Amino acid sequence: MITFYGTGLVWDKENNKLLCKFVDGKFETNDQRTANILINAGYEFEGEIEDEAQDSTGQATDLEQKTAAELKVIAEEKGIDIPARTKKEDIIALIRAGEQDADNDTQ
């Protein structure tokens, strides 16, 4: 469970609907997408967050199935700078290029 701290409402602009409502300054979720959006927006939080780039078997997950916000979090965790308004496909390309560079550095 991840607990976020803030006030008011947060709008999910990708789905054009309410993402969350803070009650007494808190919002709790188990949803990874929601957590990624709130983290990307800079909300304070506590709790565990799974590694974005791996699934339960330790294999890389399919980046195409991630949202742009989730991809930005993955890139940030890998130290990859993503310019504002970068398209999803370009974020995926930057992540993959960063992974290839990391693989080449270890060889």
- Taking CA atoms, 68 is separated from 1, 5, 30, 41, in Å, by 22, 23, 19, 13
Question: DSSP string covering 73-86, please?
Answer: HHHHHTT----TT-
pLDDT above 90 coverage of the chain, percent:
25
- Taking CA atoms, 69 is separated from 4, 31, 46, 72, in Å, by 17, 13, 19, 5
Band of residue 21 on the pLDDT scale cut at 50, 70, 90: very high
* C-beta of residue 35 within 8 angstroms of C-beta of residue 70: no
Return the SS3 of 68: helix
- Does residue 16 sit within a domain? yes
Could you list the residue range(s) of the whole structural domain that residue 72 is in?
A: 63-106
- Does residue 51 sit within a domain? no
Average pLDDT, the chain: 82
Regarding whether 74 and 40 lie in a shared domain, the answer is no
Instruction: Tell me the average pLDDT across 71-95.
Output: 87
Regarding whether 42 and 68 lie in a shared domain, the answer is no
Overall number of domains in the chain: 2
Residue 59 CB coordination number (10 Å): 9
The pLDDT score that the predictor gives to residue 26 is: 96
Regarding whether 40 and 14 lie in a shared domain, the answer is yes
Please write the tens of the pLDDT for every residue from 33-76.
888 889 889 999 998 765 544 444 343 557 888 888 888 888 88
pLDDT at 32 over 50: yes
The pLDDT score that the predictor gives to residue 58 is: 40
- Does residue 15 sit within a domain? yes
- Does residue 52 sit within a domain? no
Q: What residues pair up with 23 in beta bridges, in sequence order?
A: 26
DSSP state of 23: B
pLDDT above 70 coverage of the chain, percent:
81
Largest distance between two CA atoms of the chain: 51
The pLDDT score that the predictor gives to residue 6 is: 95
